[in-house]
């Protein structure tokens, strides 16, 4: 996910012909108006980049932007007491794996690879697989 830091309308003879986009990860290019979600400056988006060629033979980036899911708010009464200074226990690795799997699945939804209704199934499968691998690594110590 990246944040939109620049969104400039490009005009020709007073008509908007496209938009130049800049993202906080350094990606720049022209917005694919037909394939992108409606976006605004500051939105968190996932980006698909295609290199295209203009009539003069020069390459340019065509960016397709999809809005990302907003970050979930902390549940009242739930506290993350993870302390990076202490050695990691197996539970810490499992929590981090579950968080990373959930983030990855949100990205897949954002780019249209899976449907939101499939999130629970994919998350369960990914976390189960990751936790089995973590258990196996810790059992060898």
pTM above 0.85, yes or no: no
Q: What stretches of 24-87 adopt beta strand conformation (E)? A: 28-31, 44-53, 59-67
In this predicted model, what pLDDT tens digit does every residue of 69-118 receive, in sequence order? 544 444 444 455 545 545 567 887 888 888 888 888 888 888 888 888 99
Question: What torsion do the CA atoms of 88, 77, 103, 98 make, to the nearest 10 degrees?
Answer: 40
CA distance 104 to 126: 10
Domain ranges of the chain: 2-67, 90-139
For residue 78, the number of C-alpha atoms closer than 13 Å in the C-beta half-sphere is 5
Determine the average pLDDT of the residues in 12-30: 87
Pull the structure tokens for residue 107. 């990205």
């Amino acid at each position: 996910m990246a944040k939109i830091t620049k969104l400039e309308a490009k005009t020709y003879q007073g008509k908007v012909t496209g938009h130049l986009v800049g993202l906080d990860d350094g990606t720049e290019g022209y917005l694919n108006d037909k394939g992108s979600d409606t976006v605004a400056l500051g939105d968190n988006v996932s980006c698909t980049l295609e290199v295209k060629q203009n009539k003069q033979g020069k390459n340019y980036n065509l960016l397709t932007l999809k809005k990302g899911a907003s970050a979930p708010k902390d549940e009242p009464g739930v506290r993350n007491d993870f302390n990076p200074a202490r050695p990691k226990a197996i539970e810490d690795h499992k929590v981090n794996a579950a968080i990373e799997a959930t983030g990855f699945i949100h990205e897949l939804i954002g780019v249209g690879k899976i449907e939101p209704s499939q999130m629970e199934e994919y998350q369960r499968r990914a976390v189960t697989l990751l936790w089995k691998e973590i258990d196996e690594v810790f059992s060898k110590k």
